[in-house]
């Protein structure tokens, strides 16, 4: 029999905007999950990890109650639950690391015809939202009194049917707001997905989490890093090394039959953009290749 005491339990969103990226992240960490989307639970085959597929709103409760030790969730949901619920164990949930997907912002938006000057323009108004905790704290911190209209979805239609004067909702491109005749006026929170943990796990789980983190850090670092290969004129090598973003000691190799050129290979830990490449070219570099890195272990 498999000993459950020696397994780490992770809660991720079952379906929705974070579901695919959460699964992909585990795959990149070398953890294979079965494909089925309908199941609520999956035992990873090649790592002592059990994954629970739940609604994102339930993840803080799963983690707080130690039904799961860790979870992947949007900061917007985590912080909202932490403000709203009196449960101390939810307040004690710790963010281990940002995961770099699910980026969005929680914004207040008003109808295009609303004459908005500053936050005081919202005083005495009705604001529809699914994020009552975050919104009420935001308004309270700025001494603004509003009536908060709590809705679970389709918040953006509230002004049109006169349920509210403004909305407070998640935005990533503002396209939905524009389509509904709304304009963004205040940012309540910038959010992305995070890996969270509780403080109640045993020694065995702490060790498994440390193992998982090593892989995860490798994946996260690799994602922002690139392997750059180029040819550099010998006399401009120092200049070219200076332009390679975030690289420590590049490898310099001789090129057969060429005294004037060397090959330079470097791991760049910061973004390598087109302007970096143009800069390299302007300094005499040629045959510039920028290659993604899949995994990295320091």
Residues that bind Zn ion (CB under 5 A): 56-57
55 is a site residue for ligand ATP (CB under 6 A): yes
Nearer to ligand ATP, 32 or 172 (CB): 172
104 is a site residue for ligand ATP (CB under 6 A): yes
* Eight-state DSSP code of residue 15: S
| Span of 40-48, 51-59, 160-168, 274-282 interacting with ligand ATP by CB under 6 A | 51-59
Least CB distance to Zn ion at residue 54 (A): 10
Least CB distance to ligand ATP at residue 95 (A): 13
Nearer to ligand ATP, 191 or 198 (CB): 191
Q: For residue 200, give both structure tokens.
A: 């109640």
> Which of ligand ATP, Zn ion, none binds 104 (CB below 5-8 Å, type-dependent)?
ligand ATP
Least CB distance to ligand ATP at residue 225 (A): 24
Helix (H) or strand (E) holding 277: helix 274-282
Beta bridge partners of 98: 194
Nearer to ligand ATP, 16 or 271 (CB): 16
Least CB distance to ligand ATP at residue 173 (A): 7
Give the pairing type, strands 182-191 and 147-150.
Answer: unpaired
Least CB distance to ligand ATP at residue 221 (A): 23
| Span of 54-62, 109-117, 118-126, 177-185 interacting with ligand ATP by CB under 6 A | 54-62
Q: For residue 52, give both structure tokens.
A: 């629970």
Name which position in 50, 56, 156, 165 contacts ligand ATP (CB under 6 A): 56
Q: Is the separation of the CB atoms in 72 and 193 below 8 Å?
A: yes
Nearer to ligand ATP, 71 or 218 (CB): 71
Nearer to Zn ion, 156 or 165 (CB): 156
> Which of Zn ion, ligand ATP, none binds 18 (CB below 5-8 Å, type-dependent)?
ligand ATP
Full DSSP string of 170-203: EESSSHHHHHTTEEEEEEEEEE-EEEEE-S---H
Please choose, from the candidates 62, 48, 294, the residue with its C-alpha nearest in 3D space to the C-alpha of residue 196.
Answer: 62
Backbone phi, then psi, for 9, in 5-degree steps? -115, 130
The number of beta carbons lying within 10 Å of the beta carbon of residue 233 is 16
CA gap 294, 189 in Å, rounded? 31
191 is a site residue for ligand ATP (CB under 6 A): yes
CA gap 268, 244 in Å, rounded? 7
* Eight-state DSSP code of residue 54: E
Please choose, from the candidates 227, 244, 245, the residue with its C-alpha nearest in 3D space to the C-alpha of residue 236.
Answer: 244
Q: Report the SS3 class of residue 26.
A: helix
The four Cα atoms 85, 91, 97, 100 give a dihedral, to 10 degrees, of: 20
205 is a site residue for ligand ATP (CB under 6 A): no
Q: For residue 41, give both structure tokens.
A: 């639970």
> Which of Zn ion, ligand ATP, none binds 172 (CB below 5-8 Å, type-dependent)?
ligand ATP
Least CB distance to ligand ATP at residue 91 (A): 19
74 is a site residue for ligand ATP (CB under 6 A): yes
Q: Summarize as ranges the residues that interact with ligand ATP (CB under 6 A).
A: 13, 16-18, 55-57, 74, 76-77, 102, 104, 170, 172, 191
């Amino acid at each position: 029999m498999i000993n459950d005491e020696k397994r780490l339990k992770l809660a991720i969103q079952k379906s929705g905007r974070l579901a695919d990226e959460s699964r992909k992240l585990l795959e990149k960490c070398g953890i294979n999950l079965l494909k089925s989307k309908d199941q609520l639970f999956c035992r990873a085959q090649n790592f002592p990890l059990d994954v629970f597929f739940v609604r994102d709103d339930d993840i803080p409760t799963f983690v707080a109650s130690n039904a799961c030790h860790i979870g992947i969730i949007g900061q917007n949901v985590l912080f909202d639950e932490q403000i709203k619920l009196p449960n101390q164990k939810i307040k004690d949930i710790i963010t281990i690391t940002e995961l770099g997907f699910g980026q969005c912002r929680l914004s207040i938006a008003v109808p295009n015809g609303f004459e908005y000057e500053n936050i005081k323009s919202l005083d005495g108004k009705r604001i529809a939202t699914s994020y009552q905790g975050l919104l009420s704290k935001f308004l309270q911190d700025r001494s603004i009194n509003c009536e908060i209209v709590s809705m679970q979805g389709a918040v953006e239609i509230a002004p049109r049917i006169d349920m509210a004067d403004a909305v407070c909702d998640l935005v990533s491109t503002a396209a939905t707001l524009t389509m509904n005749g709304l304009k963004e006026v205040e940012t309540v929170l910038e959010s992305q997905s995070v890996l969270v943990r509780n403080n109640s796990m045993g020694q065995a789980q702490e060790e498994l989490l440390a193992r998982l983190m090593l892989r995860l850090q490798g994946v996260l670092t690799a994602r922002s890093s690139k392997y750059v290969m180029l040819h550099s004129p010998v006399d401009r090598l120092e200049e070219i090394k200076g332009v390679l973003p975030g690289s420590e000691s590049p490898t310099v190799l001789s090129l057969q039959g060429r005294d004037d050129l060397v090959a330079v290979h470097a791991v760049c830990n910061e973004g390598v953009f087109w302007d970096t490449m143009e800069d390299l070219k302007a300094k005499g570099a040629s045959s510039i290749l920028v290659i993604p890195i899949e995994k990295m272990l320091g």
